[in-house]
Amino acid sequence: MNATVAQLTSRAVLGRRRALLLLLLPVALLLVCVVARALAGTADPAGEAGHALAAELLNGFGLAVVLPLLALIAGTGAIGPEIDDGSIVYLLAKPLRRSTIVVTKVLVAIGVVLLFGVVPVLIGGVVMTGELGEVALGSAVGSLAAGVAYSAVFLLLAVVSRNVVVVGLLYALIWESLIGQIVPGAQALSILQWSLALTEAVAGGDAEALGITSAVSLPVGAILLTLVTVGATWYASRRLRTIRLSED
């Protein structure tokens, strides 16, 4: 990791427009959690019904919608603007390994997702259940795992495609949020489902009663998440080597 690259990337990702979008998503999640808890009335939030509602909301909205969109903003914002305006050539001209540049940018994107996505999911779980229990912790762990993989994938898309926002939105909203939850065959190829395996493991024996189920087992989910994260980071580094310094 390179401190200078990390600083420049943080400024780019947390620019005025992106910062606003990054704030709106977790605020929306927390508002939904507060409203849902209020509408639940006097029901026991620490009971099975309260936990089930929290798990459904955190995983169905937080993990399936908020996390991919946050990672899309962070992952593409970490390198996309530099490629679009050509300023990436100044960074590539420095005596830095391409892998160092990419890994640093991926780590910054992960940090942003952790701050704006994982922490609000954890807080939302506490708000919904009234405790720092299996639902809140499981959802946070699953969100962190998904955020890491999504950040690497979306940064790779920013390197290989000029239409990364369109492609990323189609992937996040259609494949992950819709097809990945409904179509049985596609579920095994979904980062969402792989991450739910970790959430399910943290929830333990209560996972089935809470409606937390994954299409893959914990070992398979963990292995696939690792392979996708490492593979996307490696391929992004390789593709970055093909960018000519003379490009506009």
Burial (0-12, 13-18, 19+ Cβ within 10 Å), 157: buried
Three-state DSSP class for residue 207:
coil
CB atoms within 10 A of CB 47: 12
Contacts of 6 (CB under 8 A, 6+ apart): 104, 107, 108
In degrees and rounded to multiples of 5, residue 29 shows phi and psi of -60, -45
- Spatial distance between the Cα atoms of 59 and 235, rounded to a whole number of angstroms: 29
Q: What is the pLDDT of residue 246?
A: 43
Average pLDDT over all residues of the chain: 85
* Single-letter amino acid, residue 62: G
Is the pLDDT higher at 105 or at 240? 105
Q: Are 98 and 29 in contact (CB under 8 A)?
A: no
Residue indicated by tokens 């979306």: 154
Comparing CA positions, the residue from 198, 27, 21 lying closest to residue 120 is 27
pLDDT in tens, 193-211: 899 999 989 887 677 767 7
pLDDT in tens, 98-136: 889 999 999 999 999 999 999 999 999 898 888 888 888
pLDDT in tens, 139-188: 999 999 999 999 999 999 988 887 888 888 888 888 877 776 677 777 77
Query: Does residue 36 register a pLDDT over 50?
Result: yes
Is the pLDDT higher at 40 or at 159? 159
Q: Lowest-pLDDT range, 43-52, 75-84, 142-151, 191-200?
A: 43-52
pLDDT in tens, 7-28: 888 888 887 777 888 899 999 9
Where are the chain's structural domains?
A: 3-240
- Spatial distance between the Cα atoms of 116 and 118, rounded to a whole number of angstroms: 6
Question: What is the CA 190 to chain-centroid distance, rounded?
Answer: 13
Query: Does residue 86 register a pLDDT over 70?
Result: yes
Tokens coding 198? 């970790």
